[in-house]
Amino acid sequence: MISATPRRWALHRTFHHSQFPPQRVAAEREATVSVCLPARNEAATIGTIVDCLTPLVDQGVIDQLVVVDDSTDGTADIARAGGAEVHDQSSLCPEFGPVQGKGDAMWRALTVLRGDVVCYLDADSECFGAHFAAALAGAVAIPGDVTFAKAFYRRPLRLDTGIEQPTGGGRVTELTARPLLKAFFPELAEMRQPLAGEIAAHRALLEQLPFALGYAVDIALLIDAWHVVGLAGMAQVDLDVRQNRHQPLDALGPMAEAVLCAVTDRLRGDRRLTTPADHVPWPQRPAMATSRRRAQAVGSSATPASAAVLSHGP
């Protein structure tokens, strides 16, 4: 096991995707793998992504490819035609009502994902390759100490003029997420893309963690996983380049607010930040394992209210 100091961790647990080619992952993995794409109106990109990933099933790299969809643009039909297993997000755990953003979709997807390792990928990537899944899944599914792996990459910035700059994407990451981690969770300061939607983790770990709703989910899972497994159980994988559509500046404010709320809620949970009497935490789904135990305890008569499926604490 490596020393858990951030710099030493970064030296030993920062991988390049070329270290986990499909052939190696297929030969060495000792865990089943499910890949999940939460999608909402991603018809422009979902077909290419599914086409890249379905061969990994035949190659023995992954066992299940799932799209959980909440779209009106035909995303589900395209994904299904490409060979993916498709589920409507709100049909999963329907007693909990309509899906409330990305984090909720990821949480509900655990009910249909069968793998010992779960790999979540964003469905809006334009520069996509099979290595996104193979490398992330391999970092966790090949025997070793890693139970949680997060992607990082170069983020080009495509301007309204049509000109593309080689860097400059990921503005909320650089202006909000990384400074917050450096100030309050310095152990995670070497995580290059704390808001990356591409992660892989042991299912047993994910079922222990709450899932914050909306854009808060990525940094919340990172901090919560670190609380459970420490740096020694984590890794980051360089996927080279990721390109997606960029949000206008006025849309970045709510994203930054979600990130800030996820971090401050965890500081309050650690008793490092005073909680005002009128404070309302960022909403989240409780750990799936906890939810299942609670549902078993209340029996078949449970309702969304009695099952307390939406929590407001870290």
pLDDT tens digit sequence for 220-259: 999 999 999 999 999 999 999 876 565 666 778 899 999 9
Of 185, 225, 220, nearest in space to 205 by CA: 225
Q: How many domains does the chain have?
A: 1
| CATH, residue 255 | 3.90.550.10
Mean pLDDT of the residues in the chain: 89
Question: Is 309 domain-assigned?
Answer: no
Question: Is 249 domain-assigned?
Answer: yes
Q: How confident is the model at residue 161 (pLDDT cuts 50, 70, 90)?
A: low
Q: How many CB atoms lie within 10 A of CB 174?
A: 14
Question: Is 156 domain-assigned?
Answer: yes
Question: Is 183 domain-assigned?
Answer: yes
Question: Is 308 domain-assigned?
Answer: no
- Over range 273-279, report the average pLDDT: 91
Question: Is 243 domain-assigned?
Answer: yes
Question: Is 55 domain-assigned?
Answer: yes
Question: Is 173 domain-assigned?
Answer: yes
**Segments forming the whole domain that contains residue 128:** 6-298
Please give the full DSSP string across the chain, using - where no structure is assigned.
-----HHHHHHHHEEEGGGS-HHHHHHH--S-EEEEEEESS-HHHHHHHHHHHHHHHHTTS-SEEEEEE--SSSHHHHHHHTT-EEEEGGGSSGGG-S--SHHHHHHHHTTT---SEEEE--S--SS--THHHHHHHHHHHSSSS--EEEEEEE-EEE-TTS-EEEEE--HHIIIIIHHHHHHH-GGGTT-S-TT-S-EEEEHHHHTTS-EESGGGHHHHHHHHHHHHHTGGGEEEEEEEE---PPPPHHHHHHHHHHHHHHHHHHHHHTT-S---TT--PPPEEPPHHHHHHHHHHHGGG--HHHHT-SB---
pLDDT tens digit sequence for 167-198: 544 678 989 999 999 999 999 999 999 999 99
Residue 72 has pLDDT above 70, yes or no: yes
Specify the pairing of strand 117-120 against strand 148-154: unpaired
For CA atoms 127, 140, 60, 112, the dihedral sign is: negative
Q: Which token pair is 276?
A: 């005002």
